Amino acid sequence: MLAALSVAAALGAGGCGGRPTHAAACADPALRPAYLARVLRDASLPPFVTSVEYLDAQSFLQRHPRARALPRLPAMLTLPDGEPQAPPVEGGRASRIVVLPGAFDRAVVQSDVVFRLGLLEHEVHHARLTHRGYAEAAFGPAVLAALPPAVGRQLYDVVTELDAYRHELEAARRHRGLPPEYYRMAAGAYLHYYVRLLDGALPLPAGVRDELVRTRFEPWMLGQPVLQRDERGWRFVLDDRRYEFPPAVVAALRAGEAAARR
């Protein structure tokens, strides 16, 4: 079995395994390189993505032994070239994307369309963010430089995951017939990262936290059971814990509710 497949190798592997489906690649690991080759032939990757490769878990951990500390390996992963120690918030870096066995677990990635959304929308958007960088007042080089390095890294991971899931969910609207499990998992992932901005575990300046909570709030969250309203206002409830919204978000919710009544 081929452990790794780069973009160039993938594009040259057209005859390998015919045109395997995602379902066939889930059932037979030997078909995964050919399936990835098929997906890449159909795609137009931006120049800031320097490679896409499939790695089995053992090969990935041999290259990236620090990943052994993760509770589980992700389905896909975007790595900035050079793997900088500091978050690449300033931009200007290219990235490579790794596809791992989890991308062929039907409980996680249910179909070919979901695979493509994860790779070509979510992961490529991570690479886009790494290349473009951030210049927001509440999230940019100056903000991260003022935070302890560990906090800056965690905040970078949270914000970039939110932005990648936002992009992926927007792209998903163009597809009909996606399984309900996909929306539950993608929206659930967004909500879990969003609550990291609210739970106080990241010691952020209040202005930074409030602005990130405001700008990463999504209208579809209004229809989710995690958003509850009582006589005092709105509360965000996740895993039986209640989180208070900052005033800017409460004001936006009130404005949206008033507009809906008109």
The answer to whether residue 230 sits within a structural domain is: no
Q: Which of 99, 132, 165 is the endpoint of a domain?
A: 132
235 assigned to some structural domain: no
Averaged pLDDT of the chain: 86
3 state SS of 184: helix
Q: What is the pTM of this model?
A: 0.85
83 pLDDT more than 80: no
Query: Could you give the CA distance from residue 212 to residue 185 in angstroms, rounded to a whole number?
Result: 22
Q: Is residue 1 domain-shared with residue 127, that is, in the same domain? A: yes
Residues 6+ apart with CB under 8 A from 130: 48, 78, 80, 88, 91, 93, 94, 95
User: Are both 99 and 32 inside the same structural domain?
Assistant: yes
Same domain, 141 and 103: no
pLDDT (mean) for 82-106: 92
Predicted pLDDT at 242? 74
Q: Is residue 192 part of a domain?
A: yes
Residue 8 phi, psi (nearest 5): -60, -45
Q: Domain for residue 254, yes or no?
A: no
Are 163 and 219 found together in one domain? Answer: yes
Average pLDDT over residues 200-213: 88
Looking at the structure of the chain, the number of domains it has is: 2
Domain boundary among 111, 132, 153: 132
In this structure, the answer to whether residues 125 and 144 fall within a common structural domain is no
Q: Is the dihedral of CA 45, 10, 109, 89 positive or negative?
A: negative
Tokens 């995951």 belong to 161
**DSSP 8-state code for residue 176:** S
The reply to whether 58 and 99 lie within a common domain is yes
Same domain, 64 and 162: no
Q: Would you say residue 101 lies in a domain? A: yes
> Is residue 8 pLDDT above 60, yes or no?
no
pLDDT in tens, 32-60: 999 999 999 999 999 999 999 999 999 99
Does position 127 have pLDDT exceeding 70, yes or no?
A: yes
Cα 25 from Cα 102, distance rounded (Å): 12
Residue 237 reports pLDDT greater than 50? yes
* Position 241 in a domain: no
Provide the residue range defining the domain that includes 1. Answer: 1-132
| 125 and 147 fall within a common domain | no
**What's phi and psi for 241, nearest 5 deg?**
-115, 145
Three-state DSSP state, 151: helix
- Do 27 and 124 lie in a common domain? yes
Q: What is the mean pLDDT of residues 72-87?
A: 89
Reported as type and span, the H/E element at residue 8 is: helix 7-11
Q: Are residues 5 and 121 in the same domain?
A: yes
Note whether 89 and 204 are same-domain residues: no
156 falls within a domain: yes
Q: How far is CA 124 from CA 206, 234, 254, in A?
A: 31, 34, 35
In this predicted structure, the answer to whether residue 174 has a pLDDT above a threshold of 90 is yes
Asked if residue 249 belongs to a domain, the reply is: no
pLDDT 10s digits, 185-198: 999 899 889 989 98
Indicate whether 177 and 219 sit together in one domain: yes
DSSP 3-state assignment of 212? Answer: helix
